[in-house]
Structure 1
C-alpha cells in the first residue's frame, strides 16, 4: 500500500506539472483543462466508492447524491455572491443608496424569478457566507449519510437490500429537488457557477486554479483512504466485507465501523462535488439520479475494486472515453444497413465492457499493475 501510494502521488504530480506547462503554452484548450479537472473530481468520488464498497463491502448506489449535495452547497454561495454583485451594480445609479432589503429583494428576483417567486428560501440562509457554505459542504452530506447509516446498520440491513435502500433514498431526494418548492430552483438547478465572485482573472487562469485544487483534493483523499485501509482499521473493514458475522462474534462493533466508513466516504464524495460543479458551471437534480451512482460503481468495478489506484484508473478511463464518445468526436461506423453512432451506442459499449470485465478480469484494469 505504501509503495503504490508513493507511485500514485508521484504520477499525479507529474501529470499536473505537464498539464500546467501545456496549458500555459496554449497547447491545450481551457475546456479540456476543465474536463481534466472534472475527471480528477470523479476520480476522488471513485476513491470514496472503492473505500466503502471495495474495502468495506457496502455497495452504495447513492453516493453520487452526496457528490451532488456538495455541489449544491458551494453552488448556492457562487450564485448568491455573483447575483449580489450584479444587483448592487444595477442599483448604484439610484439617487438614494439601496437598502439591504432592496438588495435582498433584487437577489431574490434574479435567482428565483424563473420559478415565479422573489422570496429567498430558508435553505439559502447561509448562502451569503463562503465559510459557512464550505462548512455545509461537509455537514449536510455527513449528517444525512450518518443518519441513514445509523438507521440501516443498526437494523442490520445488508447486501442487496441495503443497495436498494440507498438507491431509493437517492431517487426520493432527486424527485424532491425537482420540485420548485424545494428551495433549490427545481428542475432549473443552479447555473453560472463557473464565474467565481470577486475574481477578475480570465477563464483560462480560473480553470487552471480549479484543476490544481482538484488534483490537491484527489491527493489528500487518496492519502486519507490509504491511511484508513493500511492499518488495523483497514484489516477490520476487510474482514467485515468477507465475513461480517464472524467479525461480530469476535467482539468488534461492526455497525460502528460501517457507520464511520459510510459517513467518511459521503463527505469525501461531497468535497469532490464541491470542486466539480464550479468547473461544470451548472447543477440540477438530474445529477443525483440513481444512474449516476450506478456509473460510479461501474467505474470502480472496471478499474478494480479493492485497489484505490484501480478506482482512479477506472474513473479516469471511462469518464474520458465517455466525453470522447458522447461529444461527437468518435467517428461513426457505417455498416451499410445501419450506422453506429457512438452518441447513442456508448452506454451499450460501456455495459458490454462491464460484463466482460466482471467475467474475464474480475480484478479490473488495476489488477494488471499488481
Structure 2
C-alpha cells in the first residue's frame, strides 16, 4: 500500500469503480414499451368482435395484427441499419420467404382436406398417391402443372415448414452475408447488392417454373386447415396476440443485444469499422451475425403476417417493399428501437387509411386530389423532410418528452475520441 493513500497501487478508488446497472436500468424504454403494448392488446381484445364489444371489426383487428408484424420487421431493420450501419434493401425478401414457407403448408393442408372430402364418395377408397396427385392438380392447375415441385417436399409437415420459416431466410442471409462481408463490400455498394438479391428473387418467383405458382402466388391463407368451424373473428384475435407476443420477444431480444458489449461493438462497426478492425475485432463475424439474426426475425414476422393478409405473391418481395421498410425506420428514427416501431406503425396505418378510401378527396376545382394516387408522393416527401430537418425522426419526440440526457458518470475526462468528456460529466466536474 502507498503511504499517501493507504491502498494498493493500481487499484481504482471506490468512487471511480464502474457501476453495474441492471438490464432494465440500461433500457428503461423496454418497460414502457411492454406496458404500452400490453394495454394496447388488452384494449383491442375488449373491442374485438370475438372477445369484446365488437367496436373493432375483424378486418381492423387483422390490420392491427399485420401492423404489429411490420413493427417486428422494422425492429430487425433498425438493428441492422440504425445500430450496425448496414443499409440492407433486402430484408423484406426474408420477410416474404417466411410467408411463403408457412403458406405452402397452409395451402397443402387445406387442399388435402378438400380433396379428401371430394374423394370420400368414391366406390374404392383413394390411395395416398391418388390423393397427392389430386392435391397437386388442385394447387398447380392454375399454372398448367399437375406435379409437386421439389421445394414442396416437406409441405405436408407443419413442423418442417415452421423450421423452414427460420432456416430459409437464415441460410440465404448467411451465404449472402458471408460472400459480401468477406469481400469487404460496404456502404452503397452493399445496399445495391442486397437490392439486386431481392430483385433476382422476385423475378425468379414470378416464373411459373419457380414452384410457387408464379404471379398467382399462394392464396386463401386465412383459412386455417381443420378450423373451418372457427370464425375469422376468433382467428384474427388469436393471430393478433401471436403477433404481439412475437413483437415483445423481438424487442426484448434486440434491446438485450444492443445494450451490452455486443451493442458497443455493433455501434463501433457503424461508426468506425476500420478502427475496430485495428483493435483486433473480427468485424465480418459481427456483421454476419447481425445480418443473419435480423433475417431470421424478419422471416418469423412474415410467417405471422401473411396468414392474416390471406395471400402472398412475388410483388411482396419486390425491391420497393424493402425501400418502404427503410423509409419507415427513417421516419420513426433509426438507432432507436422504439423509433422503428413508431415509424412502422404510423406509416402503415396511415397508408391503410389513405389507400383504403378513409381520407376524403380534395376538390381543387381544376383538379381533384385522390389520395390513393398521391399517397406515395406524400410518403416520399415526408421521408425527404425528415431526413433534412428531423434526422432523429418521430422517435426524437420521445427523447424531447423524456428529456433524455447522457448518464452522469465520473472518471477520467480524457480528450480522446470515445473517452468521457468534461461536458458529459456531472455538474461538479463541469465547474472545475
**For the superposition of Structure 1 and Structure 2, which TM-score range results when normalised by the shorter chain?**
over 0.9
Rounded to whole Å, the distance in 2 between the matches of 1:367 and 1:228 is: 22
Instruction: Tell me how far 1:2 sits from its aligned partner.
Output: 1.8
Match of 2:148 among 89, 103, 120: 120
Output aligned runs, 1:140-179, within 5 Å: 140-179=168-207
Rounded to whole Å, the distance in 2 between the matches of 1:189 and 1:337 is: 41
Rounded to whole Å, the distance in 2 between the matches of 1:206 and 1:71 is: 17
TM-score (norm 1): 0.99
Rounded to whole Å, the distance in 2 between the matches of 1:128 and 1:165 is: 34
Instruction: Tell me the equivalent position of 2:296.
Output: 267
Rounded to whole Å, the distance in 1 between the matches of 2:304 and 2:363 is: 40
Instruction: Tell me the equivalent position of 2:257.
Output: 228
Output aligned runs, 1:22-41, within 5 Å: 22-23=47-48, 24-41=52-69
Q: Whose Rg is larger?
A: 2
Instruction: Tell me the equivalent position of 1:213.
Output: 242
Instruction: Tell me the equivalent position of 1:290.
Output: 319
Does the residue aligned with 1:315 lie in a helix, a strand or coil? helix
CA offsets 1:41-71 (integer angstroms, 9 cap, x no match)? 0000000000000000000001000000000
Say whether residues 1:73 and 2:101 are aligned partners. Answer: yes
CA offsets 1:246-299 (integer angstroms, 9 cap, x no match)? 000000010000000000000000000000000000000000000000000000
Say whether residues 1:245 and 2:274 are aligned partners. Answer: yes
Instruction: Tell me how far 1:313 sits from its aligned partner.
Output: 0.1
Output aligned runs, 1:320-335, within 5 Å: 320-335=349-364
Say whether residues 1:102 and 2:130 are aligned partners. Answer: yes
Rounded to whole Å, the distance in 1 between the matches of 2:385 and 2:144 is: 50
Instruction: Tell me how far 1:126 sits from its aligned partner.
Output: 0.4
Instruction: Tell me the equivalent position of 1:356.
Output: 385
Rounded to whole Å, the distance in 1 between the matches of 2:198 and 2:291 is: 15
Say whether residues 1:57 and 2:85 are aligned partners. Answer: yes
Instruction: Tell me how far 1:337 sits from its aligned partner.
Output: 1.2
Rounded to whole Å, the distance in 1 between the matches of 2:212 and 2:234 is: 29
Instruction: Tell me the equivalent position of 2:372.
Output: 343
Say whether residues 1:17 and 2:42 are aligned partners. Answer: yes
Gaps of at least 5 residues in structure 1 are: none
TM-score (norm 2): 0.85
Instruction: Tell me how far 1:95 sits from its aligned partner.
Output: 1.1
Rounded to whole Å, the distance in 1 between the matches of 2:112 and 2:181 is: 44
Instruction: Tell me how far 1:329 sits from its aligned partner.
Output: 1.3
Does the residue aligned with 2:230 lie in a helix, a strand or coil? coil
Instruction: Tell me how far 1:198 sits from its aligned partner.
Output: 1.2
* 4+ long deviations beyond 6 Å: none
Rounded to whole Å, the distance in 1 between the matches of 2:126 and 2:341 is: 50
Which fold has the larger relative contact order, with Cα–Cα distance below 8 Å and residues 6 or more apart in sequence?
Answer: 1
Q: How many pairs were matched up?
A: 370
Match of 2:223 among 179, 188, 195: 195
Instruction: Tell me how far 1:156 sits from its aligned partner.
Output: 0.2
CA offsets 1:63-98 (integer angstroms, 9 cap, x no match)? 000000000000000000000000000000011111
Rounded to whole Å, the distance in 2 between the matches of 1:98 and 1:336 is: 67
CA offsets 1:6-47 (integer angstroms, 9 cap, x no match)? 100110000000000000211110000000000000000000
> CA RMSD of the aligned region, Å?
0.5
Match of 1:86 among 99, 114, 126: 114
